[in-house]
Amino acid sequence: MNYQDYTRVRELFALAEKRIKLVEQLDTEIVIPAINQLRYVGQHVLASLFLDGDEHNKHIQEAEIHASRAAYDALEAGTLELLLEFKQFKDDFRMITIGDVIPDYLNICETIDKTSTILSNLNNRHHCNMHEELQSHFEELLYINRRLTIAREELTKKLNAWRLWVFIGLGGIIITLIGVLVKVILC
C-alpha cells in the first residue's frame, strides 16, 4: 500500500471539512448531504486498505469523487440558503426604501445577482476555478447576511411606521367619503 495514493483524497477531505464548518455557522442542517458524502469517502478509503491493484485504485478514485462532491454540496447548500434568505428579505420590505437604512443596497443586489448567475452556470461540479469564485462570493454573502439581519430591526420600525400612515390615510379617505355621502343624502 502506498500512502501517496491518498494525498488527493486527504486534500479534498480537508477542503470539504473547511467548507462544512463555514456553512455550519449559517445552519447546521443544510450540511447533512455533504456530511453524508464524507461518510462514503470513509467507506471507500477503508475498502481500499484491504484491496490491491485495480480494485484498490478504483476505491481511491471513488473516495476522491465523493470528497469533491462533499466540498461542492456544502458550498451549494450554503449559497442557496443565503440567496433564499435574501429573496425573503427583499419581499418582507418591498413596500419601503431599503437604501435609506443600507446605503450600499444596490451593490448588495449586484453581488447577489452575480452569485446567482455563477451558481446557475455551474453545471460541471469538478470545475474547481468556478468553485473558488463561488466560495469567495459565499463568504461575501455571509457577511452581507449578517448586516441584513442587523438592519431588520430598523427596517421593521420603518415598515410599521409606513403601515400606520397608510391606515391613517385610508381612514381619512373613508371618513371623507362617508361625510360626502351623508351630505348628499341629507341634501
Partner 1 sequence: MSFTIETSIFGRLFPRPPSKKELENRRKANSRFIVGQVSTGSYLLQKRRYMTEEDIEKKRRLVLSNK
Enumerate binding residues for partner 1 (CB under 8 A).
27, 29-30, 32-34, 36-37, 69, 72-73, 76-77, 80-81, 83-88, 91-95, 112-113, 116, 119-120, 125, 152, 155-156, 159-160, 163, 166-167
Among candidate residues 127, 39, 113, 40, the one with its CA nearest the CA of residue 75: 127
Taking the least distance from each CB to partner 1, the nearer of 36 and 107 is: 36
Helix (H) or strand (E) run with residue 132 in it: helix 128-186
For the chain, the first-to-last Cα distance in angstroms comes to: 104
Q: Which amino acid type is present at position 99?
A: G
Burial of 88 per CB tally in 10 Å (0-12, 13-18, 19+): exposed
Taking the least distance from each CB to partner 1, the nearer of 168 and 181 is: 168
Measured CA to CA, the distance from residue 42 to residue 35 in angstroms comes to 11
* Smallest separation (angstroms) from partner 1 to the CB of 47: 20
Taking the least distance from each CB to partner 1, the nearer of 51 and 96 is: 96
* Smallest separation (angstroms) from partner 1 to the CB of 34: 8
* Smallest separation (angstroms) from partner 1 to the CB of 144: 13
